[in-house]
Structure 1
Amino acid sequence: MELQQMRYVLAVAETLSFTRAAERCLVVQSALSHQIARLEQELGTKLFERTTRRVRLTPAGEAFLPAARQCLAAAERAVVEVAAAIGEVRGQLSVGVIPSVAAVDIPGTLRDFRRRYPKVRISLRVGASDELVEQVREGGLEVAFLGLPPAVRPEGVKSHVIGHDRLVAVVAPDHPLADEGPVDLRRLSSEEFVDLPAKTAGRIQSDLAFSAAGLTRDVAFEVTNADFLARLVGQGLGVAMLPAAYVPQLSGVTTIQVTDAPARVEYVVWTPDSRTPAATAFLRLIDVPGIGQQP
């Protein structure tokens, strides 16, 4: 059994097409089919059901995939560990960020990391804090940047606080509040809001603040992206509350201080299991305490 055969099987399983799998693997289809047939002969069973109309995994193929993925991951890890032993950082680095992260300049940090470690390939995913924590726990991400209410801490991952911030209100430039001074939550509660989806960390911090003050509010629009949220605010569709350090990069909105605004804590989190050399190098670059040369 060869690693390349496993790669071919995974490519077919993910594309459900021998033609597309061959294109992905940069080989002719006949060579890919031949190698998979050799593997099936060695295993004594078919991994795929093939007809003129479709390709699908057999039960044996389904059983083969998890171990094949682990084997390929281990082989890749062996390569990067050997490289790290001679002072070269390479491999893959997967990073997750919330759209409103402000404590770290993510593009600038990635630029510096890329200059130092040009052989590392980087995957950047944008999502909500709770989703990113789950992906780090499950191994889909190695590092993630979050924003959480002060009473909430990331669970099941290693974490380090990178910043504290308070929320401010943002309104359209022609909104009546735009010409007023600081406001409180009670004054804001009479407005319609544009906010992140319910039960996300970014939404919860505002919901908790209004609830603690004995207030309710009307969230007329739910948006998954903070930049688009600001665009809706700029069109006069509602008021929003966003981190103060994040708002200066927005255009077309006016910022209002909120006297009893909720706070937010920003974290960087990483997998509690062994880190790759690339993840270790990235955490050291942003000065996370206690990160040595080795995971």
Structure 2
Amino acid sequence: MELQQMRYVIAVAETNNFTRAAERCLVVQSALSHQIARLERELGAKLFERTSRRVRLTPAGEAFLPSARQCLDAAERAAAEVAAAVGEVRGRLAVGLIPTVAAVDVPGALRDFRRLYPQVRISLRVGASEELVEQVREGVLDVAFLGLPTTARPEGVAAHELARDRLVAVVAPDHPLAGEPSVSLQRLSCEDFVDLPAGTAGRIQSDQAFSAAGIGRNVAFEVTSADFIARLVGPGLGVAMLPSAYAPQLVGVVTIEVADAPARVEYAVWSPVSRTPAAAAFLAVIGITEHS
């Protein structure tokens, strides 16, 4: 069993197509198919069901895939550790972030990191805070930037507090509140809201604030992107509450201070047990060291 065979299996599983998998792996399709058939003979089981219309994993393939990924990750980690031992940083760096991260200039940090370590392959994922924490725990991500209510803290990961921020109201330019210097939660509760999905960290901080004040509100629209929240607020479909440090990036809306606004904490998180050389180097670029 060879690592290259595992790469081929993963490529076919992710593309559901032998031709696209071969293109991804920069190999002719016949060679890829031959190596997968050879692996299947060695394992004594078919990994894929092939028809004229589709390719999909068999139960044996489903069982094989997670271990194949772990083997490749271990091999890549071993190579990166050897490189680090002789003063080089290689391998991969997988970074996750929430759309509203503001405490760190992530593109700028990646630019600086890339200049220092050009041999590291970088991938970037955008998601919700709770998803990012889970992906760091699982080893899918090396470092993630997230925001949580002040009542919560990342669990099962190493965490460094980056900044604290308050939410501001976001309204359409022609909204009656647009000219006000500040507003209260009580006044906002009369409006329809555009917000993140229920249960997400970004939604919980607002829900907790209204609940603590004994106030109800109507969330008329739930969306997964903070940018799209502003795109719905702009035409007057509702109001929203977003972090004040993120708000200057928005266009076509007006922001208003909220007198009794909820707060959130931004964190950088990483694995406490398996920090790669690339992850350690990236954290150092943003000023987080072993003892931070």
TM-score (norm 1): 0.93
For residues 40 and 244 of structure 2, what CA distance do their matches in structure 1 show?
Answer: 59
- Distance verdict in 2 for CA 1:209–1:2, change over 3 Å: same
Aligned residue for 1:98?
Answer: 98
Number of aligned pairs? 292
Aligned residue for 1:36?
Answer: 36
Aligned residue for 2:121?
Answer: 121
Aligned residue for 2:145?
Answer: 145
1:196 offset after TM fit, Å?
1.2
Q: Per-residue CA shift, 1:252-273, capped at 9, x if unaligned?
A: 2212111111111111111222
1:52 offset after TM fit, Å?
4.2
Q: Map of 1:175-254 to 2, 5 A cutoff?
A: 175-254=175-254
Give identity over the alignment, percent.
78
Alignment root-mean-square deviation, CA: 1.8
For residues 229 and 62 of structure 2, what CA distance do their matches in structure 1 show?
Answer: 41
Q: Map of 1:20-99 to 2, 5 A cutoff?
A: 20-99=20-99
For residues 57 and 225 of structure 2, what CA distance do their matches in structure 1 show?
Answer: 36
- Distance verdict in 2 for CA 1:214–1:119, change over 3 Å: same
- Distance verdict in 2 for CA 1:185–1:24, change over 3 Å: same
TM-score (norm 2): 0.93
Aligned residue for 2:169?
Answer: 169
Larger deviation, residues 168-177 vs 27-36: 27-36
For residues 249 and 208 of structure 1, what CA distance do their matches in structure 2 show?
Answer: 25
For residues 51 and 239 of structure 1, what CA distance do their matches in structure 2 show?
Answer: 51
1:42 offset after TM fit, Å?
3.0
- Distance verdict in 2 for CA 1:229–1:50, change over 3 Å: closer
Gaps of 5+ in 1: none
SS of 1:257's equivalent in the other structure is: strand
1:31 offset after TM fit, Å?
1.7
For residues 271 and 191 of structure 1, what CA distance do their matches in structure 2 show?
Answer: 41
Aligned residue for 2:281?
Answer: 281
For residues 40 and 18 of structure 1, what CA distance do their matches in structure 2 show?
Answer: 15
Aligned residue for 1:10?
Answer: 10
User: Does 2:167 align with 1:156?
Assistant: no
Q: Per-residue CA shift, 1:7-66, capped at 9, x if unaligned?
A: 222223333333332222222222222222333333344333444454443443333323
- What one-letter code is carried by the residue in structure 1 that aligns with 2:13? A
Q: Per-residue CA shift, 1:104-154, capped at 9, x if unaligned?
A: 111111111111111111111111111111111122111111111111111
Confirm or deny: 8 A CA contact 1:280 1:291 kept in the other structure: no
Confirm or deny: 8 A CA contact 2:80 2:90 kept in the other structure: yes
For residues 56 and 242 of structure 1, what CA distance do their matches in structure 2 show?
Answer: 42
Gaps of 5+ in 2: none
1:286 offset after TM fit, Å?
1.1
Q: Per-residue CA shift, 1:171-218, capped at 9, x if unaligned?
A: 112111112232211111111111111111111111111111110111
- Distance verdict in 2 for CA 1:77–1:51, change over 3 Å: same
For residues 49 and 167 of structure 2, what CA distance do their matches in structure 1 show?
Answer: 55
Confirm or deny: 8 A CA contact 2:181 2:257 kept in the other structure: yes
Confirm or deny: 8 A CA contact 1:172 1:253 kept in the other structure: yes
Aligned residue for 2:265?
Answer: 265
1:238 offset after TM fit, Å?
1.4
- Distance verdict in 2 for CA 1:285–1:180, change over 3 Å: same
Aligned residue for 1:107?
Answer: 107
- Distance verdict in 2 for CA 1:79–1:174, change over 3 Å: same
